[in-house]
Amino acid sequence: MSKHESPLALVTGASSGIGEATARAFARQGWRLALCARRKERLLSLRPALRELGSPHVLVHGLDVRDEAGVKAFAETVLAEQGCPDVLVNNAGLARGTERVDNAEGTAWREMVETNIFGLLYLSRAFLPAMEERKKGQIIMIGSVAGWSGYAGGSVYCATKAGVHKICEALRLETLGMGIRVSSIDPGMVDTEFSEVRFWGDKEKASQVYEDFEPLHAQDIADCVLFVATRPPHVNIDRLLVMPTAQADPWHVARSPKKQS
């Protein structure tokens, strides 16, 4: 526990979707919050609601997790003002485009690798020493079913999420005996801005991904994060794969089109 009375959760990519829902879930339990996202204005507008839900203190910071120096500065601010996070939720990540390997321009590849891999490595590195020093802490990665099964048009995104699994496995070994827990929560289809980002802002195309079945919702994953974070200290949930009932893997979804009257 830090010098403050209530525990501290740090959530990256907290301006929308799973990150925002996770921040709300921790706020309802009275946790202090340190939030970062590229869209700081959305964090600022979210802060009053989090305070009303029960969070005693909400620190917000504009940050692109690809910015190594920016991550370092953010970590220094959090550690100085709030202390060491009890839980770090590495949520920031994205899929961009559906390029095949044989005809890809490649810019989106770099964005995904730098965000989904380097970003969570920068954040983890920034706070692990403080967790190790006090022999307590938890890192929760938001992975994906794409880390379990690859699919056409998603080679690099799938590779980054498989990489998250391997980083988790390595961190579990590197921190073994230090009282630190490392977990991965891997969702299937979640109705957030994810597909809108993947399709470069095309809302119509994004909405078609979730047609004719009920996908997961951001709150479903936030509930899982809170569950994992609140297990007794001797319990570590290594990996949690969470799917909509109508989805079996990245390719198989049971859709039930509505009959036209």
Element (H, E) at 158: helix 155-174
Helix (H, G, I), strand (E, B) or coil at 237: coil
Tokens representing residue 113 in the block = 């690798």
CA-to-CA distance for 174 and 95, rounded, in angstroms?
29
Find out whether 252 and 226 touch, Cβ atoms under 8 Å. Answer: no
Q: Identify which of 200, 195, 180 has the alpha carbon closest to the alpha carbon of residue 144.
A: 195
151 is catalytic: no
C-alpha dihedral over 37, 135, 234, 160, to 10 degrees? 40
What is the amino acid identity at position 117?
Answer: I
Please provide residue 3's backbone torsions phi and psi, each rounded to the nearest 5 degrees.
-65, -15
Residues 6+ apart with CB under 8 A from 162: 146, 147, 148, 150
Query: Which among 122, 151, 157, 210 is annotated as catalytic?
Result: 157
Tokens representing residue 88 in the block = 């770090």
Q: Which positions are annotated as active-site residues?
A: 157
